[in-house]
Amino acid sequence: MSDNDLLVIVPTRGRRDQCERLLESFTATATCADLLFVLDPDDLDTYADADWGEAVTAVLDPRAFLTGKLNQTALPMADMYRVLMWAGDDCVFRPPPQEGGPAWDRAMLDLLDGEMGGTGWVYADDKRRHDVPEHWMVSSDIVRELGWFANPAVNHFYNDNSIAEIGKRTGMIRYCPQAVVEHLHYSVAKNVEHDAVYRSTEELFGAADLKAFQEWHASQMPYEVARLRRRFSRDVNWVLSRVA
């Protein structure tokens, strides 16, 4: 790993071509980020002899699903990187939408550091949805405080809704249209196949994750919000400093 502030985590399974496309786009556009692919132990043949360039790979054994991959990777990396981000293997990093503008990683970090004081969530324009962060960047102090990067109540789906809820209720999330990380999902990209990875995940976790998210939203989410407000609210910190 380098001295960069930002690590991008990419969980993947069964998609060598997409990973090679993502890696090519990352190499062409990133200016201050490192890249880590997270593989499954029973899927290594898919990536045999792949040229990962300057990216790093990790294998989680036993296999974990999306939330497990993100959390098991992000928690130790939170002590090595100031900011963590994830992207699906069906994403592509794009050049700045305006000529001469900052690269996607610099634009997101500038927003985090400038407007937000270095703590919070930032998400890019993914050309699919803007109401929730399907992929997000978060400062590592939040990961350490919560003990997770992705909502441990769900396995795959509704992580974006979870981050949207916590971020909006704490006022600690921002959308960064100057950064484009395109999500080439089959629902919006006509030439993308509704492949076995999509289908199996939908069958396994679609309904179960919705129920788990709803239960988390009603029971645990308010405590997570209160915890972050107490820890990171500038108003609370100001009051405490005056008392001291």
Please report, rounded to a whole number, the percentage of residues in the chain having pLDDT higher than 90: 92
pTM as predicted: 0.94
Nearest C-alpha neighbor of 21 from the set 108, 67, 88: 88
Q: Report the C-alpha gap between 7 and 154 in whole angstroms.
A: 23
Q: Which structure tokens are listed for 40?
A: 């499954």
Render pLDDT for 5-28 as a digit per residue (tens, 0 to 9): 999 999 999 999 999 999 999 999
Please return the burial class of 136, using the count of CB atoms within 10 Å of its CB with bins 0-12, 13-18 and 19+: buried
Cα–Cα distances (Å) from 235 to 3, 121, 168, 242, in that order, read 32, 19, 17, 11
Q: Is 192 helix (H, G, I), strand (E, B) or coil?
A: coil
Average pLDDT of the residues of the chain: 94
215 or 239, higher pLDDT: 215
Note the pLDDT of residue 240: 43
